[in-house]
């Protein structure tokens, strides 16, 4: 068992996550990753937690320097968690991909109302609804108060996974305003699209 330190500063999304995942193949006893933006620190943290590592710690050392560190959890605990997660997986996965905060073209006001109605109606899909991914202007749905945000919160409460593009949030200067969902990266988004049995792009 070894210790690994990675310097991922200056790397664009999703390279810090990819580099960390490659390092975890060596099964280190502990790992420490340096990144230079908040979305990267959040994405690396989630990867380490999902990979069975315990005591994951995120520390902002400077204005543009985060350190994400973790130690390996016991193998038995990780295996038990994997079994529980596998047992809870749905047999069919439907993913909804949102790239804008409105639905359709013509009137943004009408489009916002239609998007809210769309999100409020998604629970009718039942257990097949697996994940909602928000990119570009779609990330604004995860922070603007109103019917759309309320609908997303209800979906999350029902167990639907919500992924919000961290690069997009950072581009719009909205990272700290996110109210719902997990900040994610392009690797997670591409993997989600690959795993989905059906993708809906309204």
d(CA 141, CA 100): 8
d(CA 170, CA 165): 9
Answer with the residue of higher pLDDT: 72 or 24: 24
What are 97-130's pLDDT values in tens digits?
Answer: 999 999 999 999 999 999 999 999 999 888 899 9
Q: Does the structure show a pLDDT above 70 at 32?
A: yes
Going by C-alpha positions, the residue among 38, 79, 80, 95 that lies closest to residue 61 is 38
Antiparallel, parallel or unpaired: β 30-35 and 65-72:
antiparallel
In contact, 67 and 32? CB cutoff 8 Å:
yes
d(CA 195, CA 192): 5
What are 44-92's pLDDT values in tens digits?
Answer: 998 998 888 878 999 998 888 999 999 876 444 444 444 445 545 446 8
The pLDDT of residue 75 is: 41
The pLDDT of residue 126 is: 86
Please tell me whether the overall predicted TM-score, pTM, comes out greater than 0.85 for this model: no
Going by C-alpha positions, the residue among 39, 52, 40, 38 that lies closest to residue 6 is 40
The pLDDT of residue 155 is: 96
**Domains defined for the chain, CATH in brackets:** 3-86 (3.30.110.40), 90-200 (3.40.1260.10)
What are 140-187's pLDDT values in tens digits?
Answer: 999 989 999 999 999 999 999 999 999 999 999 999 999 999 999 998
- Reply yes or no: is the peptide bond before residue 14 cis, omega within 30 of 0: yes
d(CA 31, CA 6): 8
């Amino acid at each position: 068992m070894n210790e690994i330190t990675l310097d991922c500063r200056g790397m664009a999304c999703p390279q810090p996550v990819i580099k960390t995942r490659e390092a975890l193949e060596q099964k280190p006893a502990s790992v420490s990753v340096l990144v230079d933006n908040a979305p990267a620190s959040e994405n690396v943290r989630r990867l380490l937690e999902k990979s069975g590592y315990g005591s994951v710690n995120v520390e902002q050392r400077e204005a543009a320097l985060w350190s994400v560190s973790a130690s390996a959890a016991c193998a038995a605990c990780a295996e038990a968690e994997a079994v529980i997660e596998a047992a809870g997986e749905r047999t069919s996965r439907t993913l909804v991909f949102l790239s804008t905060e409105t639905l359709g073209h013509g009137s943004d006001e009408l489009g916002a109302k239609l998007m809210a109605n769309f999100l409020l109606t998604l629970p009718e899909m039942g257990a097949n609804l697996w994940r909602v991914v928000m990119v570009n202007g779609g990330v604004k749905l995860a922070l603007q108060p109103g019917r759309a945000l309320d609908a997303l919160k209800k979906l999350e409460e029902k167990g639907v996974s919500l992924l919000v593009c961290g690069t997009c949030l950072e581009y719009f200067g909205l990272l700290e305003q996110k109210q719902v969902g997990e900040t994610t990266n392009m690797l997670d988004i591409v993997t989600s699209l690959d795993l989905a049995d059906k993708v809906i792009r309204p």
